[in-house]
Structure 1
Amino acid sequence: MKPEIPVVLPHRGPALHERREQIIRAALDHFRHYGYSKTSVADLAKAIGVSSAYVYKFFESKQAIGEAVCMHSLGQIDDALREIVHTNQSASDKLKELFSSLLSKSLALFFEERRLHDIAAVAATNHWSSANNHRAALYSMLKQIIVEGREKGEFESDTPLDEVCMAIAGVMTPFSHPLMLEEKTPEQLEERVLVITNLVLRSLAK
């Protein structure tokens, strides 16, 4: 299924307000140490020396705070992947690196930052906007690489573009979804991402 168009997350209070950023930093710290489910809005309010009511001036719910934290964490992955798209490599090499980097950065975020894995799993399972935006960003980068490969004669161009992108996005999912990543060891995932990438490149060859 084609990813949804990215959305701007709703929030209360001035978007660039220093206090809003302070709440997000406190949430990131608490989620890392205690997990999303064990952190309350009252905990965050206490950490920055304000009342819970004051926090609600900026975020309508605990989920909205979680969305902001997820957007921050997943955005770091997206930023790193965009750098690959804008290199001078061939489209084939960009696609290889996109697959491998997606896996390595997802593993680092979700397992080295174990508590953040928990909130990412909640976001993915409940289709939070932050998770949907991440999928849409990946789809957009993938599409850009495929178009470039077609224009330079690396990839075939007979198959409808969206059909190709949706198929490849589908096989990328096990290398970024927080729950699916738990089903295999890192070594198994690294072996599988190489096999899948090579298969995708063979299917794209002109």
Structure 2
Amino acid sequence: MTDTQLTAPQPRGPVDHSVRNQIVEAATEHFSLYGYEKTTVSDLAKAIGFSKAYIYKFFDSKQAIGEVICYNCLNQMRQAVDEAVAGAESASERLRRLFGTLAEAGSRLFFQDRKLYAIAVAACEEQWGSARNYDAHMQQLILQIVREGRESGEFERKTPLDETAHAIYLVMKPYLDPLQLQHNLDFAEVAPARLSNLILRSLAP
């Protein structure tokens, strides 16, 4: 569908992936138990058994660790969306699957691990790179679906392409953005189908 990929946060310090991964895994567990906001680098150091100075060799801040965790969470959601969209036979079905999978993946993360979900919310509030990349990927995916729908004759061609894609993105935003999703969970089961049907009717040639 699209060549855009989420960009992983750039590592810092010694290229010792086992230690870096160990820190991220321990931090993920710690954040899931105690929450991102309430955890300090000192807390992580005690939990992992490393000195705080040693952790700083690999990550320059708590946010840098949170960025990696957030990237991992959002990348799982991106992969779920890309796989669902890739299996559709038409642009209309791709759009339906995009909307439905976004809502499903986001809701699953919200209900299964609220404390890790809070990291994604912080990422959106503070515009972390991982959140910006995820958002850009989804906007590009919407644009690509609309373009393919026009080329196949499924969608109208009168409205400027960028304007159409951006309008669809704005309709999807409550289920695309973790910050907004938490306020729209009551409609997560029915909204994707109803809104995608409304969008598709507006796109008819």
Please, which moves more after superposition, 7-16 or 135-144? 7-16
Do the aligned partners of 1:6 and 1:132 also contact (CA within 8 Å) in 2?
Answer: no
Superposed displacement of residue 109, structure 1? 0.7
Per-residue CA distance 1:16-73 (angstroms, 9 max, x = gap): 6211111111111111111101212122222332111111111110011111100000
CA drift at 1:123: 0.9
Question: Residue in 2 aligned with 1:196?
Answer: 195
Give 2:113's aligned residue.
113
Matched residue, 2:166: 166
Q: TM-score, normalised by structure 2?
A: 0.90
Counterpart in the other structure of 1:78: 78
1:180 Cα deviation from its structure 2 partner: 2.1
Task: Tell me which moved more, 29-38 or 154-163.
Answer: 154-163
Measure the CA separation in 2 of the matches of 1:142 and 1:100.
Answer: 13
- Contact 1:6–1:133 (Cα < 8 Å) also in 2: yes
After TM superposition, the score normalised by the length of structure 1 is 0.89
Uncovered stretches (5+) of structure 2, i.e. residues with no partner: none
- Contact kept? 2:24, 2:68, Cα under 8 Å: yes
For 1:37 and 1:8, the matched residues in 2 are separated by: 22
Cα gap change, 1:33/1:197 in structure 2, threshold over 3 Å: closer, same or farther? same
**CA–CA distance in 1 between the matches of 2:110 and 2:176?**
9
Output aligned runs, 1:47-126, within 5 Å.
Answer: 47-126=47-126
Distance in structure 2 (CA, Å) of the matches to 1:97 and 1:29: 31
Post-superposition CA distance 1:2-28 (Å, at most 9, x none): xxx966534312566211111111111
Aligned length: 201
AA matched with 1:19: V
The correspondence of residues 127-146 of structure 1 with structure 2, limited to 5 A, is: 127-146=127-146
Which secondary structure does the structure 1 equivalent of 2:156 belong to? coil
| Alpha-carbon distance in structure 2 between the residues aligned to 1:151 and 1:15 | 46
CA-atom RMSD, angstroms? 1.9
Per-residue CA deviations over 1:84-122 (Å, capped at 9, x if unaligned) read 232242110111011011001001112221101211111
Q: 1:144/1:84 Cα in 2 relative to 1: closer, same or farther (>3 Å)?
A: farther
Which amino acid counterpart does residue 49 of structure 1 have in structure 2? Answer: G
Residue identity in the other structure for 1:154: E
